[in-house]
């Protein structure tokens, strides 16, 4: 699992951080205000790049893993939880609210089974930036609300499997900028 993160190197006047594979070959960039999945930090590659940060990001060749060995100001990760649209109190907790934008997105149960589609204009609420372990582009949500509907934390796959949370596709496989990802934030 990882964490739904945004690169805020722009706060330091920098436009991007270089992403490499473990051989040191450049495979892309994490641009300012680009969303990605931060997985871990440490001795990832076993070479001169370490300590490195393992990330999943949208490169020119698609959504993939890579490492960032640069520190501030090039790589300035911040949790997506800082950029919520509003808050709501549900189940005795204050949760951060975001909106689905650009395209309908799928939601899966923790076991990976499909649960439902969230059309554009739906809202999701969560208190975590946790990303999926197998679907590394999916974000853990506690509640969802279809346009014009009520909040629900009932996630079901049609086979009798039910959960009180799910994982929504963030759209990071097709867009990772604030205007192209499927999760609308304050950025």
pLDDT for position 71? 80
Q: Write down the domain spans for the chain.
A: 3-79, 84-184
Assess contact for 125 and 141: CB atoms under 8 A.
Answer: yes
Buried b / exposed e along 30-39 (16+ C-beta atoms within 10 A): bbbbbbbbbb
Q: How long a stretch of residues is the chain?
A: 187
Residue 77: CB atoms within 10 Å:
19
**Integer-rounded Cα radius of gyration of the chain:** 17
Assess contact for 34 and 57: CB atoms under 8 A.
Answer: yes
What are 33-44's pLDDT values in tens digits? 999 999 999 999
pLDDT for position 70? 82
Phi and psi for 99 in degrees, rounded to 5? -120, 145
Q: Is the pLDDT of residue 181 over 80?
A: yes
What are 143-179's pLDDT values in tens digits? 999 999 999 999 999 999 999 999 999 999 999 999 9
Over residues 72-89, the mean pLDDT reads: 94
With cut-offs at 50, 70 and 90, classify the pLDDT of residue 51: confident
What are 67-80's pLDDT values in tens digits? 998 887 888 999 99
Residue 132: is it exposed, middle or buried by C-beta count within 10 angstroms (0-12/13-18/19+)? buried
Half-sphere exposure of 15 (CA within 13 A, CB side): 1
pLDDT for position 34? 97
Query: Cis omega before residue 73 (within 30°)?
Result: yes
């Amino acid at each position: 699992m990882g964490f739904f993160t945004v690169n805020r190197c722009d706060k330091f006047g920098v436009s991007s951080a270089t992403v490499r594979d473990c051989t040191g070959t450049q495979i892309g960039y994490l641009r300012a205000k680009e969303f990605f999945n931060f997985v871990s930090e440490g001795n990832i590659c076993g070479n001169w790049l370490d300590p490195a940060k393992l990330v999943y990001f949208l490169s020119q060749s698609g959504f993939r893993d890579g490492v960032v060995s640069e520190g501030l100001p090039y790589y300035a990760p911040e949790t997506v939880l800082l950029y919520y649209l509003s808050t709501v109190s549900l189940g005795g907790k204050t949760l951060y609210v975001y909106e689905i934008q650009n395209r309908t997105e799928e939601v899966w149960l923790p076991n990976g089974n499909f649960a439902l589609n969230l059309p554009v204009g739906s809202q999701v609420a969560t208190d975590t930036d946790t990303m999926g372990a197998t679907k590394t582009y999916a974000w853990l949500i506690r509640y969802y609300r279809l346009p014009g509907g009520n909040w629900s934390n009932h996630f079901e796959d049609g086979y009798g499997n039910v959960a009180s949370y799910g994982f929504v596709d963030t759209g990071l496989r097709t867009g990772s900028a604030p205007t192209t990802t499927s999760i609308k934030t304050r950025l």
